[in-house]
Structure 1
Amino acid sequence: MEVVCDGKRLVAGSGQGELLSSQVGLSFWGGVDPLTGTVIDQHHPLRNRSLAGRVLAIPSGRGSCSGSGVLLELILNGHAPAAIVICEREEILTLGALVAEVVFEQSIPVLRVKQEVFADIGKYQYARVAGSRLHLSNEPLEADWQPETARPASDEDVGVRLDVIDEAFLSGQQGKAAQIAMRLLLRMAAIQEAESLMDVSQVHIDGCIYTGPASLRFAQMLVGLGARVRVPTTLNAISVDKRGWRAQGIAEDLGVPASALADAYVAMGAQPSFTCAPYLLDSAPQFGEQIGWAESNAVVYANSVIGARTMKYPDYLDICMALTGRAPLAGCHLDAGRQATVALEVEMPTGADDSFWPLLGYSCGSVCGNDIPLILGLEKSAAGPDELKAFGAAFATVAAAPMFHIAGVTPEANEQRPERRVRVGLGEMRRAWDELNTAATIEVGLVSFGNPHFSFSECARLAALVQERIKSADVEMIVTCGRAVHEAARQAGYVEVAEAFGVRFVTDTCWCMLGEPVIPLAVRTLMTNSGKYAHYAPGLVGRGVRFGSMIACIDAACSGKANEHEPAWLL
């Protein structure tokens, strides 16, 4: 028996196939192989399944803003899902499909259905998306069906009010590149139900990460069309250390295109900042400033800790905002889009070390999903920028929400009055500990720091902790950080102290992009204090992970072994 349901068409088209469904959102970056379409997120229910040619049903995307780039690669290389079905607000994957449609005239349909429809979707084995309709069945659907011809939304019918400058961009008066950017912005604004666009003061671009040939093709196309950014624009960490990848033994087939991609964005006028922590730069925004940032941890930090205003923008929409200085007036740009919808009651255990913050962030993100949380119980924690950076990065890895509030800590928390309350206790954090500690052995071959990029204060703390210790010759220790932080730490003497211990510093890139040979082939287990990297590493680099505090990581670097059990405060 075939069931037919109506939905909201986000991207036009038709597709059918075996149905792969999950009630858990999926980050395509770090969660799906951009070459094959196989799910590599080892924490996800669909792990090791191929999405190619199948109808994928997930509540929404989550995690990294680079998911749009991965989906674009899959569409252009023929390994994309036949269609995507969601039930919550979703912009990252949708934007990847829109870029494929608008720029490359290839795409897949994206359909949003009601929650009650999605709740029952796991009962079926096959699905077809045709325009705004979803067909579900437990029998294979007819193979010779005629796809419906669904007209893509045009620039004229998106329902967004245009200012004079928007009209100028759309008509091509400001050049072809800006015209393409405005077309994509209008399509996304319509999906976000924005009535108009607005000015942004700065942009942070995550699309400079090399996901494959499509990412370079898109950027070089814009350069060829004379694209120039109109507002101050910073660049995220790229896929290689631009100044040192050859010395590190990185293969030419990655180093050359990844560097060329960075060069393309610099040619458009972006600053070669190459950091996933732009909030550490002198150009960091102020409270209330309207900005257009991509990169999940950066977005969450900007909104939550600084109180600047940005949506969680997907890759490729970031450069569209930079080329126009415009963004959809929706979501976190508005007061209403920044309101907490759930209160999470937590408790800081006595004696908790710095691993508490990423563990709590991971636990809270897993609970809240799309809901913006108000976190209660940390009023006396004295959380500083480094603790909030660690919390936010882990939170953003598993949540779709673009921000959080912490009572007594973050600047807008006192304005929040959510009615629903959920307890997040030690039990949830112990489960997070077990999920992030995936290695079967306590033998450690590499210690990883700097995901997100290390701050100046973290460099100072690391130097103080390793100054009188001796690292095992069998353990590598690598720190990733931005160029600006590295130079400041070098001038302060922290880099020299850390290097004397045996630390290697890598700039421009970050752990979500690093692989062999920077990670030695012989290393089977790595240790990190990053909840974000502990989540992604098993799928990205195929290594087991041990997670712990900074001191626990340094101890492991000296002994070659991680602690076998969780810390006492977690018991």
Structure 2
Amino acid sequence: MTSTPIPLTGRSLVAGAAQGPLLFADTGLSFWGGVDASSGEVIDRHHPLSGQRIAGRVLAIPSGRGSCTGSSVMMELISNGHAPAALVLAEADEILTLGVLVAQTLFQRSLPVLCIGKEAFAGLRGAGWARVEGERLSLYAQAPGDHWQAPSPAQGDQPFSTRLSLEPQDQALLDGSHGKAAQMAMQIVLRMAELQGAEQLLDVTRAHIDGCIYTGPASLGFAEQLLRWGAKVRVPTTLNAISVDQRRWRELGIDPALGEPASALGDAYMAMGAQMSFTCAPYLLDNAPSQGEQIVWAESNAVVYANSVLGARTLKYPDYLDICIALTGRAPRIGCHLDSQRKAQLIVEVPALAALDDSFYPLLGYHIGALAGSRIPLVRGLEQAQPSLDDLKAFGAAFATTSAAPLFHIAGVTPEALDPAQVLEPGASLATERIELKGLLHSWRALNSAREPQVDVVSLGNPHFSLSEFTALAHLCQGRHKHPEVVVAITCGRAVLEQARAAGLIAGLERFGVTLVTDTCWCMLGEPVIPPAARTLMTNSGKYAHYGPGLAGRPVHFASLAECVESACSGQASGRLPAWLQPAACKEGPAHV
């Protein structure tokens, strides 16, 4: 590549101009759990950019993936000066783009976001420097010497306009008739709807807010600004797990520098009218949405579960767009809200396997999520397996970790695919991926990042534990006691904890030695719940096995719930493969799908 710029054009998602060293990866990146919000370091230890810092660089990734909280991390990075100079994508990414738009709206700070398509994106590899100017991208071998400076952004308020067809209620919200908070929320909803290609909005019946997770001062500042503007939700609204156990964070030894603002953030959303649910598994609450119900849910595992297992209708909403829709009651009429957009785009064939345990489903979800990317898969081969709701919860959470898709179908299992023909477009010819054990073994080893057998912490409840999981664990722990130097901690929602207590399950678990933590979950927990001296973690969650090394700074053993209990008692991981995966190790060759 010469010093002569190579021009490309694309679709500007957020206008602006910037330049800097190009940081390229051909793997999607979840900013939540993948990028440190206070430093801009890539902390996803499975990602090719692990250890790199994105501040001041033109970050080129195919798309985001994983958590809806990526928008909050992006906003935080823009606010604290550790954001990339610009973002170049192969596919439009709503989560990251929304974080930029909110920072622009509330803090008057922004960065350009440009989508150039998959073919052009592949040509970025090897470039040393990039310059983004609106819809134009120029590549250089090294920093150009033309003393270029980004033009100053336009000053002053621009009148808001939209090409969407608005109902009278939309116009009233946009005009400010329902207050400043609702007006700003409607502006953001409409901006995102235009980027998504929607032409109209639709009514939603309920919301689940993921933006109550504390990522730094900007996340609290956003909520407090909404309150100052008089924010009140217009539909029944639940809250995701927050960053601390609000009732016990002091008892657990959490630093007040985190505990106080994180607790205040939860209070701020409750002051807007949201109920005190504090769970990442709102589908476990008594009033889960019904099939076909139009909702707005954030939190990646909750979105995937609602769409796939409940058959409700929601997009994978970014943090902050969730509360904007809750404040207006209106969402873009696009994507998985529409029956036509819920069809399968990929077929995945799973081989017949015997003697499955509960580690199979999170591993399979993790593996299929990586294969699917942003495509909605139809999984075949599990018709006779009869996965439980807990299996589907674990599958969906791991799938949402590696995939950008908000929905999966399992033939004969999930409600829309009981007859698989119903999720196939007539006459469509879909790509087929056939799962092989060697490929699953490769994913198993990716999730098992720990290299020493010692286990210091057993992490359970990501997503939050269900009543049936409490029942299974109580049975496994009956008459036993954990190793004195091993921490066994379960995160769960308050409602499920009370159900488990009423069922007589908690006393036995406390005798075993578990620590129970409500309101927050393992993606937010760190020291001192994880003892500073702890070197290795163990979990039955595919999601946490992926995120744990970056979030907790420690390697992880991944295994079934029964194996986790055995290791909690012995302080050692056996390292043995589940019976259904052992044939792959016996015939091991180059891992592939």
Residues 130 and 148 of structure 1 are in contact (CA less than 8 Å); yes or no, is this contact kept in structure 2? Answer: no
Structure 2 partner of 1:179: 183
* Correspondence for 1:460 among 466, 471, 484: 471
Deviation of residue 350 (structure 1)?
1.1
Structure 2 partner of 1:416: 423
Q: Secondary structure at the match of 1:322?
A: helix
1:559 aligns with 2:570: yes
Q: Secondary structure at the match of 1:477?
A: strand
Structure 2 partner of 1:432: 443
Structure 2 partner of 1:20: 23
Partner letter of residue 176 of structure 1? Answer: K
Structure 1: stretches of 5+ with no match in the other structure: none
1:492 aligns with 2:507: no
- CA distance in 2 between counterparts of 1:302 and 1:535 reads 22
Q: Secondary structure at the match of 1:121?
A: coil
**Deviation per residue, 1:124-144 (Å, 9 max, x gap):** 111111111111111213462
Deviation of residue 105 (structure 1)?
0.9
- CA distance in 2 between counterparts of 1:100 and 1:501 reads 47
* Correspondence for 2:364 among 360, 364, 369: 360
Residues 131 and 148 of structure 1 are in contact (CA less than 8 Å); yes or no, is this contact kept in structure 2? Answer: no
Structure 1 partner of 2:549: 538
1:136 aligns with 2:149: no
Deviation of residue 470 (structure 1)?
2.5
**After the TM superposition, which of the residue ranges 141-150 and 296-305 deviates more from structure 2?**
141-150
Structure 2 partner of 1:108: 111
Structure 1 partner of 2:403: 399
Q: 1:155 to 1:534 in 2, by over 3 A?
A: farther
1:74 aligns with 2:50: no
Residues 12 and 150 of structure 1 are in contact (CA less than 8 Å); yes or no, is this contact kept in structure 2? Answer: no
Deviation of residue 164 (structure 1)?
0.6
State the TM-score, normalized to the length of structure 1: 0.98
1:375 aligns with 2:379: yes
Q: Secondary structure at the match of 1:288?
A: coil
Residues 293 and 318 of structure 1 are in contact (CA less than 8 Å); yes or no, is this contact kept in structure 2? Answer: yes
Deviation of residue 568 (structure 1)?
2.6
- CA distance in 2 between counterparts of 1:336 and 1:136 reads 39
| Seq. identity, % | 59
Number of residue pairs matched by the alignment: 571
Residues 308 and 408 of structure 2 are in contact (CA less than 8 Å); yes or no, is this contact kept in structure 1? Answer: yes
Deviation of residue 63 (structure 1)?
0.2
- CA distance in 1 between counterparts of 2:87 and 2:154 reads 18
Structure 1 partner of 2:328: 324
* Correspondence for 2:90 among 87, 91, 95: 87
Structure 1 partner of 2:226: 222
* Correspondence for 1:505 among 516, 527, 540: 516
Structure 1 partner of 2:590: none
Residues 538 and 545 of structure 1 are in contact (CA less than 8 Å); yes or no, is this contact kept in structure 2? Answer: yes
Alignment of 1:145-160 (within 5 A): 145-148=148-151, 156-160=160-164
- CA distance in 2 between counterparts of 1:95 and 1:180 reads 14
Structure 2: stretches of 5+ with no match in the other structure: 583-593
Note the aligned Cα RMSD (angstroms). 1.3
Partner letter of residue 558 of structure 1? Answer: C
Residues 164 and 199 of structure 2 are in contact (CA less than 8 Å); yes or no, is this contact kept in structure 1? Answer: yes
**Deviation per residue, 1:46-67 (Å, 9 max, x gap):** 0000000000011110000000
Partner letter of residue 115 of structure 2? Answer: R
Q: Secondary structure at the match of 1:271?
A: coil
Q: Secondary structure at the match of 2:415?
A: coil
**After the TM superposition, which of the residue ranges 329-338 and 450-459 deviates more from structure 2?**
329-338
Structure 1 partner of 2:305: 301
Residues 24 and 124 of structure 2 are in contact (CA less than 8 Å); yes or no, is this contact kept in structure 1? Answer: yes
- CA distance in 2 between counterparts of 1:89 and 1:55 reads 16
- CA distance in 1 between counterparts of 2:20 and 2:578 reads 47
- CA distance in 1 between counterparts of 2:305 and 2:186 reads 27
Deviation of residue 146 (structure 1)?
3.5
- CA distance in 2 between counterparts of 1:141 and 1:398 reads 37
- CA distance in 2 between counterparts of 1:267 and 1:143 reads 52
Q: 1:490 to 1:46 in 2, by over 3 A?
A: same
- CA distance in 2 between counterparts of 1:60 and 1:151 reads 28
Deviation of residue 157 (structure 1)?
4.2
Deviation of residue 474 (structure 1)?
1.4
Deviation of residue 565 (structure 1)?
3.0
* Correspondence for 1:243 among 247, 269, 272: 247
Residues 86 and 112 of structure 1 are in contact (CA less than 8 Å); yes or no, is this contact kept in structure 2? Answer: yes
Deviation of residue 542 (structure 1)?
0.7
Partner letter of residue 146 of structure 1? Answer: Q
Structure 1 partner of 2:37: 34
Structure 2 partner of 1:287: 291
Structure 2 partner of 1:98: 101
Residues 243 and 262 of structure 2 are in contact (CA less than 8 Å); yes or no, is this contact kept in structure 1? Answer: yes
Alignment of 1:311-350 (within 5 A): 311-350=315-354
**Deviation per residue, 1:461-510 (Å, 9 max, x gap):** 11111012231111111110000000000011111111111111100000
Q: Secondary structure at the match of 1:111?
A: strand
